Amino acid sequence: MMGIKMHIKPTVLLAYIVPTVLLAFLPMAGVPRSWIIYTFLFAIYLAMSNMWNLLAGYSGLVSLCQPAFLGIAGYGMVIGTWIGIPWWIGLLGGAALAAIFALLLSNAVFRLTGVYFSIGTLVVPEALRMVFYIWRPVGGSMQGAGAGYMLRGSAATLSPSYIYWMALAVGLVSMIIMRIVLRSNLGLGLAAVRDNERSAASCGVNVFRLKVYTFMISGAVTGLAGAIYFMNMGYIEPSASFSVKWTMAILLATVIGGIRTEEGPIFGCIVTVALYFLLARYGGYSFLIQGIILIAIMLLSPQGIVGLLRKMKWYCKLTAYSEG
């Protein structure tokens, strides 16, 4: 079994924790409410983008079913509040459900490769959206589009500051997971599988197991971020949870920042959050604009913002210093 060593250099850990702590003080500093919203969305996107970067960038698994993970975890958390489960157990349980779903799904989708794998995963969120349109997990009257549910119990009265801090925490955890995985035997195995799956298998690497581990990690963290997002919304319904908009946002953030780079999603999520609010006024045209931006970045700078920054000496020195 591939080992994972829990070792992070102190300088790197400080580079992660210090900005997070500073951002955690925003709700108590009396800043405008819009700042809190921007940072909250940034943290949610960061967690999801890191996990997609782990899949597509470092493992070669261009998965398009991320909305399935966040939708399942979100429904698990919200429905938990309907049957009396404490909200924090619902959050962790939702993430566990997403990981289990990834495990069950892997047996089917990992039989596919390349573009067929991407297409196979793309239909999963749409299938789940249709299922949840007609399925009423805990009964009751219709709320919103299809099987929509409001939060109940203590979760519905939870302070926005607590939800904000949970979003920051999951964003930080996603970065730490990336750092640990990529510097472990698991990360080395994933790199071998990405470069040449057959060669990796011939060298004794259990390709299927590596893919499943990565898929489950990605599913759990993506699901947890999604559950926190819907806890903040106070409501969940199929068209919002299993939407292709999530896929577009995750791809955009990762590609703009720099796929297969650890710091790329950070820069990409800043740009994506800005675009989210700037393009909101354009309604249906926002998808078209985001698509054009995505294609332009892929053609002009395949390594995104990080690729451009790495051409600058000061950034290389700063990165080398942070690595210790």
pLDDT of residue 255: 92
Q: Is residue 234 part of a domain?
A: yes
Model confidence at 282: pLDDT above 90: no
Segment 176-192 mean pLDDT: 89
Per-residue b or e along 180-191, where b marks 16 or more CB atoms closer than 10 Å to that residue's CB: bbeebebbebbe
Model confidence at 319: pLDDT above 80: no
The CA distance from 54 to 190, in Å, is 9
Domain count, the chain: 1
Segment 272-297 mean pLDDT: 82
β partners of residue 164: none
pLDDT of residue 71: 95
Q: Is residue 283 part of a domain?
A: no
With a pLDDT cut of 90, the percent of the chain lying above it is 53
The CA distance from 52 to 171, in Å, is 13
Model confidence at 141: pLDDT above 60: no
The number of CA neighbours under 13 Å toward the Cβ of 297 is 25
AA letter at 19: P
The closest of 237, 58, 238, 292 to 130, measured between CA atoms, is 238
Length in residues, the chain: 324
The CA distance from 84 to 86, in Å, is 6
Segment 249-276 mean pLDDT: 92
Segment 9-30 mean pLDDT: 84
Q: Could you read off the pLDDT of 111-132 as tens digits, one per residue?
A: 888 899 999 999 999 999 988 8
Residue 254 contacts residue 305 (beta carbons within 8 Å): no
Going by pLDDT thresholds of 50, 70 and 90, the confidence category of residue 314 is low
Q: Tokens in use for 282? A: 């354009």
Most confident of 12-21, 42-51, 82-91, 132-141: 42-51
Model confidence at 5: pLDDT above 80: no
The CA distance from 304 to 53, in Å, is 13
pLDDT of residue 23: 94
Q: Is residue 275 part of a domain?
A: no
Going by pLDDT thresholds of 50, 70 and 90, the confidence category of residue 1 is very low
Model confidence at 42: pLDDT above 80: yes
- Angle between helix 285-300 and 244-257 (nearest 10): 30
Going by pLDDT thresholds of 50, 70 and 90, the confidence category of residue 41 is very high
- 318 versus 197: the higher-pLDDT residue is 197
Q: Is residue 274 part of a domain?
A: no
With a pLDDT cut of 70, the percent of the chain lying above it is 90
Segment 293-311 mean pLDDT: 81
Owning domain of residue 199 = 10-251
Segment 224-246 mean pLDDT: 94
pLDDT of residue 144: 52
If 0-12 CB within 10 Å is exposed, 13-18 middle and 19+ buried, where does residue 229 land? buried
Model confidence at 171: pLDDT above 70: yes
Across the chain, what does the average pLDDT equal? 87
DSSP string over 126-167: HHHHHHHHH--TT--S-BTTTB-EE--GGGGG--HHHHHHHH
The CA distance from 323 to 275, in Å, is 31
In the three-class reduction of DSSP (H, G, I as helix; E, B as strand; rest coil), residue 32 is classed as coil
Q: Is residue 322 part of a domain?
A: no
pLDDT of residue 113: 85
Most confident of 38-42, 185-189, 233-237, 290-294: 38-42
DSSP string over 45-108: HHHHHHHHIIIIIHH------HHHHHHHHHHHHHHHHHTT--HHHHHHHHHHHHHHHHHHHHHH
Q: Which whole-number Å values give the CA distances from 141 to 47, 132, 146, in the listed order?
A: 34, 14, 10
Instruction: Tell me which of 39-53, 105-119, 135-149, 279-293 is least confident.
Output: 135-149
Q: Is residue 294 part of a domain?
A: no
Going by pLDDT thresholds of 50, 70 and 90, the confidence category of residue 44 is very high
Q: Which whole-number Å values give the CA distances from 236 to 19, 129, 215, 246, in the listed order?
A: 31, 12, 24, 14
The CA distance from 270 to 19, in Å, is 14
AA letter at 123: V
Q: Is residue 314 part of a domain?
A: no
pLDDT of residue 303: 82
Q: Is residue 227 part of a domain?
A: yes
